[in-house]
Structure 1
């Protein structure tokens, strides 16, 4: 096995490769949409990166590494990396509106800064631009690449629909959301686009079906792990890191994996948690802190971290099930524990 590079260096290399093409793509938008997109991406008015305002670029890296893993040059995946980053930004614009989130990465969300209508319209523009970008893929890769993106988009909106519908279901009883339903939603809402990223890298790199399927499946498992980690951060994360208040998901009474697994665990803590949540009352600082303690006591936090570990191992197994180039494989494997390392 080739020596592994540190995950932040891997992400930085891939971001630097994709950044010029992403800037050119955003420049094709209506100036209003381009401004909102630049704001969402953490760029200033001149298109320069604002320190600390960008995401990690995980999806871009997966696309680039997917191509390199099947023996292709990193540049072959740039269009795919741009497309998934545009779709990711589109999904965040719309998710923030649906969830009522007012901050992201310690800044106002786009709908708070520009209004709901402009943020929705900018998201729609990004959706169209992503498809247009990928439709420009050369050779015979265009059709399978667009099909892969379309399938991921279908899964993404399906998962988002389930996530919204979960809000109207009870906390306990026969109609309560079960952990396995939440995992399926997470695979669609979060895993689909991560799987699409790695799969697009393989497709644009000229890979066969087995390599493409293995890389796509690895990304989907990574997405479930990513969601489980985010759920833990949404309750116990440091506001300086998450950009959101501590216990923010509990305050919003959001059904997340730690809470759902805690409720199904049985025992005194689970019963107390269920009684608190069933009241429907707004959780103030004291109540949210108590609820977080109950979730942890009932095993919800440990269960979420264990689920993240299981999904990362499944992703690893997918990557190791086919013959991939050693150095890119090592880089992909280095990214897996990086997601959960934030919590250890």
Structure 2
């Protein structure tokens, strides 16, 4: 199963649209509690307004995490409405993480326009991110069966992000190099934990808390597949689709699965790749680096690894909620997206 080159994008399906219609009013109600200036910034980062506060369309997220929460609740025999607190909470945490991630990585673009920190400044953006986190916690403060999974996801998210940053100072090859096992643990925290929280809170709030642990595991496996696909897009993705510059991960020298797999391949191109990674970061050099990664088998290896984690996620889903057709379709779309 070739996940990163299927030519599909995450569809704006009837299912996603239905989930958005349920979640957005609840999101807006939560944001309305903020100071007006904070609400303006949060509205900007959620894609509801431009930097001047005018209504805006086209820069919102894909709403995958809240959709997983709502569909998990329905598959567990509950209603989508029963899982709204969890759906809103995970989407607010996701937005918080992106705001801070863009500051850490100094990424100036997010969803085809200025990142929040670029539009408003670092200090205000940090405060807006904190506001998003506070609102998320408030949504589940009285729902202990779900709050535990959100808290767990926050700890794992920070752990994963810290590991990702620590990778930057480690060598590409030799003693201290980043292993694939370490990478997988990082991705499970940085990306998988929040997807795990979405699935776990969904079934908990939907009336089947006994399934929460297994659905957490499903979400984590799905998140690792998602992150690996994101790694591929960070090298070969179309900027018109991803909203980020071409070769963005190569330029920032992020240690991602295609690079790690290529370096460990033993192929002749691996040695040339190591030299390229120690060299220039102009456009020509980055284009050559991307070619060497592919020549050394890094892209194919990333596809295979993502497929294994997606299969593991779907196996858990079949075990816990075998009739969850809409949720399964969403998981397949998520791991096979092009943006």
TM range (shorter): over 0.9
Work out the CA distance in 2 between the residues paired with 1:14 and 1:133: 18
Change over 3 Å in CA distance of 1:312–1:273 after alignment to 2: same
The Cα of 1:166 is off from its aligned counterpart by: 0.4
Change over 3 Å in CA distance of 1:180–1:7 after alignment to 2: farther
The Cα of 1:8 is off from its aligned counterpart by: 2.2
The Cα of 1:337 is off from its aligned counterpart by: 2.0
With normalisation by structure 2, the TM-score equals 0.93
The Cα of 1:196 is off from its aligned counterpart by: 0.1
Match of 1:198 in 2: 199
Match of 1:240 in 2: 240
RMSD: 1.7
The Cα of 1:262 is off from its aligned counterpart by: 0.8
Query: Please, which runs of 5 or more residues in structure 2 have no aligned partner?
Result: 1-10
| Alignment counterpart, residue 307 of structure 2, candidates 303, 306, 309 | 309
Match of 1:23 in 2: 28
Change over 3 Å in CA distance of 1:311–1:49 after alignment to 2: farther
| Alignment counterpart, residue 132 of structure 1, candidates 129, 138, 141 | 138
User: Are residue 331 (structure 1) and residue 336 (structure 2) matched?
Assistant: no
Work out the CA distance in 1 between the residues paired with 2:129 and 2:280: 31
User: Are residue 219 (structure 1) and residue 219 (structure 2) matched?
Assistant: yes
Query: 2:58 is paired with a residue of what secondary structure?
Result: coil
The Cα of 1:184 is off from its aligned counterpart by: 0.9
Match of 2:122 in 1: 116
Match of 2:264 in 1: 264
**Is the 2:86–2:202 contact (alpha carbons within 8 Å) kept by the matching residues of 1?**
yes
| Alignment counterpart, residue 56 of structure 2, candidates 50, 58, 61 | 50
1:34-49 mapped onto 2 (5 Å cutoff)? 34-44=39-49
Work out the CA distance in 2 between the residues paired with 1:160 and 1:308: 20
Tell me whether 66-75 or 6-15 shows the greater mean CA deviation.
Answer: 6-15
For residues 127-151 of structure 1, the C-alpha deviation after alignment (integer angstroms, 9 at most, x for no partner) is 1111111114xxxxx1121111111
Match of 1:85 in 2: 91
**Is the 1:18–1:82 contact (alpha carbons within 8 Å) kept by the matching residues of 2?**
yes
Change over 3 Å in CA distance of 1:109–1:290 after alignment to 2: same
Match of 2:147 in 1: 146
For residues 98-147 of structure 1, the C-alpha deviation after alignment (integer angstroms, 9 at most, x for no partner) is 011000111000000010111111111111111111114xxxxx112111
Equivalent pairs counted in the alignment come to: 328
